[in-house]
């Protein structure tokens, strides 16, 4: 089997989360040796054991992605023991407060996701960039969501955090591309199979059903991306197939940020080829 990430070393922060773990497994399945970093060893070990059982290579380390010294020491250790740091991806929780208007939100709740997002992304990216610049190779990945590319109400500080991360990714790419290092952001929509959504669905399924329906209706494909869809994009961007891609945000929102699409009826695809009339779909005759 030709594994496209063979001999690559990947560091994933927040690797115990639903998205971080899915990305870690996907990278490992394509041959990358993955270094799972987070604050909870037990949860990380479960993911590592699953990767190893599937024939992959995985290591577990306790690292707080908001602590500069811990990040620097860990990445230098990875570079020393593995030889290179080829992929760096942070998927830690920003702890956002959403579904409340900005005028009703406290400053602490607004600033928390912005501070966590930018501090963690800056610290992990800078530590990885310094090593990758010495190597003259590597890719730094980040993750945002739909509010980074479109006005989206009731998302609190999460929306500006996404926008700031996307700008940071572009600027970093512009500065270190000359050293052969790529920087790419992935923009996702909410994944219904992620832990935050699963917990919400399990806790209040009747309330979540219309919310998910509304989110799906906003997309062009009338479905939300799953965590594996995000992971597959991360694999591609980490490979040589994407060697000329840098300084951009790759949109995996099923079309949401290209324009909200709730005016196109979900059942129009079943009606055959349609045409627009006053914002609605009518069947061709």
Q: What is the pLDDT of residues 241-273, one digit of tens each?
A: 999 999 999 999 999 887 766 667 666 555 544
Q: Give residue 99's pLDDT band: very low, low, confident or very high (50, 70, 90).
A: confident
Say if domain 9-192+225-257 classifies as CATH 3.40.50.300: no
Q: Which residues are CB-contacts of 229 (< 8 A; sequence separation ≥ 6)?
A: 188, 191, 252
3-state secondary structure of 37: strand
Helix, strand, coil % over all residues of the chain, rounded to 5: 50, 15, 35
pLDDT above 80: residue 96: yes
The residue written with tokens 């699953």 in the block is 50
Range name among 168-177, 189-198, 215-224, 267-276 with the lowest pLDDT average: 267-276
Distance CA 214, CA 224 (A): 11
Closest-CA residue to 183 (of 72, 63, 68, 87): 87
Residue 159 dihedral angles phi and psi, to the nearest 5°: -65, -55
Q: Give residue 123's pLDDT band: very low, low, confident or very high (50, 70, 90).
A: very high
Structure tokens at 56: 């992959």
Domain residue spans of the chain = 9-192+225-257
User: What pLDDT digit, counting tens, does each position of 19-60 carry?
Assistant: 999 999 999 999 999 999 999 899 999 999 999 999 999 999
- Give the rounded percent of residues in the chain with a pLDDT score beyond 70: 91
């Amino acid at each position: 089997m030709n594994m496209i990430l063979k001999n690559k070393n990947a560091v994933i922060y927040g690797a115990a989360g639903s998205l971080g773990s899915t990305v870690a497994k996907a990278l490992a399945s394509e041959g990358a040796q993955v270094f799972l970093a987070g604050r909870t060893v037990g949860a990380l070990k479960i993911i590592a054991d699953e990767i190893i059982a599937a024939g992959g290579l995985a290591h577990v380390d306790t690292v707080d992605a908001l602590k500069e010294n811990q990040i620097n020491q860990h990445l230098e250790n990875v570079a020393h023991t593995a030889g290179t740091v080829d992929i760096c991806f942070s998927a830690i929780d920003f702890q956002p407060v959403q579904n409340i208007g900005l005028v009703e939100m406290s400053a602490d709740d607004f600033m928390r996701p912005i501070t966590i997002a930018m501090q963690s992304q800056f610290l992990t990216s800078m530590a990885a960039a310094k090593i990758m610049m010495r190597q003259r190779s590597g890719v730094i990945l980040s993750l945002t969501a739909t509010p980074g590319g479109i006005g989206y109400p009731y998302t609190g500080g999460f929306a500006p955090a996404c926008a700031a991360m996307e700008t940071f990714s572009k600027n970093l790419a512009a500065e270190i591309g000359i050293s052969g290092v790529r920087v790419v952001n992935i923009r996702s929509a909410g994944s219904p199979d992620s832990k935050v959504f699963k917990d919400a669905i399990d806790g209040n399924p009747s309330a979540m059903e219309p919310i998910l329906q509304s989110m799906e209706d906003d997309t062009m494909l009338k479905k939300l991306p799953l965590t594996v869809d995000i992971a597959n994009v991360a694999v591609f961007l980490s490979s040589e197939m994407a060697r000329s891609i840098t300084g951009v945000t790759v949109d995996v929102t099923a079309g949401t940020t290209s324009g909200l699409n709730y005016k196109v009826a979900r059942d129009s695809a079943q009606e055959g080829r349609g045409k627009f009339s006053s914002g609605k779909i009518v069947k061709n005759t």
